[in-house]
Amino acid sequence: MEEYTGEPMGMGTVLVRAAFLVDAVYADSVRQFDLTVPQAQLLCVLIPRPHGMFELAKTLGLAKSSITGLVDRSAKRDLVRRESDAGDGRAFRVALTAKGKQLAEEFHEETTRRVSDLPLGLSEAERDTLVGLLTKVITDNAVPVVFPDGECPSAASCSGD
């Protein structure tokens, strides 16, 4: 494996390498919690509240058949359940079960901790700057909320109740 030479990297290179680093940490968490990446994403999306199938497909970037299969497999593991949609009698919403909520919150907390530890070599000011700049990149590119903010799972407003 090649070592970093200390030469400045271009924007594309540094973002791809940072994504690779975060993906590796995320994949390790997924394995630890016996989930697939799509299951972990589904659980994290559902932490704040139930979602409709179309909304889930759009947020996760999946086709209708893929989201149906993902929800079916997650329901078989008792991680999610289907609830009728009060606004549309023909539709349903997907919500976390008690087991799914506990797993989602534990996964989210552990993964957030692991990823947050990556820039420990930065000063507090540098970390604040990094968060601000990456927040702008995420906002400017309209990245869907596939992973809620760190405080969300334990907050009463995110319980979905």
> If you write DSSP's letter for every residue of 41-69 in order, what string do you get?
HHHHHHSSS-EEHHHHHHHHT--HHHHHH
Can you tell me whether residue 93 is helix, strand or coil?
A: strand
Within-domain flag for 148 = no
- pTM for the structure as a whole: 0.80
What CATH number corresponds to the domain at position 20? 1.10.10.10
Q: Judging by DSSP bridges, how do beta strands 88-96 and 51-52 pair with one another?
A: antiparallel
Query: pLDDT: is 101 or 86 the higher one?
Result: 101
Within-domain flag for 146 = no
Average pLDDT over residues 132-160: 70
Within-domain flag for 78 = yes
- Distance between CA atoms of 89 and 75, rounded to whole angstroms? 21
- Distance between CA atoms of 60 and 36, rounded to whole angstroms? 14
Q: Are 158 and 152 in contact (CB under 8 A)?
A: yes
Within-domain flag for 151 = no
**83: number of Cβ within 10 Å:** 11
Please report which confidence band the pLDDT of residue 150 belongs to, taking 50, 70 and 90 as the band edges.
low
Q: Which residue has the tokens 């909520």?
A: 101
Within-domain flag for 88 = yes
The DSSP 8-state label assigned to residue 124 in this structure reads H
E-only strand ranges, the chain: 51-52, 80-85, 88-96
pLDDT at 135 over 70: yes
Within-domain flag for 138 = no
Within-domain flag for 30 = yes
For 73, the domain range is 12-116
- Distance between CA atoms of 59 and 66, rounded to whole angstroms? 13
Quote the mean pLDDT of the chain. Answer: 87
**124: number of Cβ within 10 Å:** 7
Average pLDDT over residues 56-65: 91
Q: What pLDDT, in 10s, does the model give residues 115-132? A: 999 999 999 999 999 999
Within-domain flag for 40 = yes
How many domains does the structure of the chain reveal? 1
Least confident of 7-11, 70-74, 105-109, 139-143: 7-11
